[in-house]
Amino acid sequence: MEWVWEIYEEYVTRELERLGNQNPSQADLQDAFFQTLRESSVTVLVQEPWQNSVRFKGLARYNGKDMTPLVNDPMNYLLSHFGGGKFKLNFHHHELNFVCTRNFKPQGESKWEDMPSIDF
C-alpha cells in the first residue's frame, strides 16, 4: 500500500496544515492517511478506442474499506476483475476533492469491453 501513501502524502500533509498541524509527526501522518483513505473513493476507468481518438469508460467505484483489495494489489486485481488494458484509478476524498490519479497497464485478455459503463 506504499504506492497509495506516495500519491496521498501531499494531500494529507496539506490537510493537516489546513487544520493547524504545521509540523505533523509520523504518527499524525499515518493516522490522517488511514482516516483520509477510509473517507475516500477510487474510480476505475479504462481507456477505450472511440472514433479516431480514445475515451475513458467508468467500470467501478469503491469506497473506504471496499477498495482494500484493489489498493493492496492493483495489477492482479485489475487483471482478475477487468482483464488487460490501460486503466486509470482516480482517487477522491469525500467524493468532491480530487486527490490523484495512478495508471496501470496489466497485460491480458480484456474482460471490460462488454461491461456496463458507470457515471463518473
pLDDT of 88 = 97
- Dump pLDDT digits (tens) for 54-73: 999 999 999 999 999 999 99
**Best CA proximity match to 78, nearest among 109, 50, 53, 52:** 109
Domain spans, the chain: 2-104
DSSP string of 56-99, one letter each residue? EEEEEEEEGGGGHHHHHSHHHHHHHHHBSS-EEEEEEETTTEEE
The C-alpha atoms of residue 10 and residue 58 are separated, in whole angstroms, by 26
- Dump pLDDT digits (tens) for 92-110: 998 889 999 999 999 999 9
Answer yes or no: pTM beyond 0.75: yes
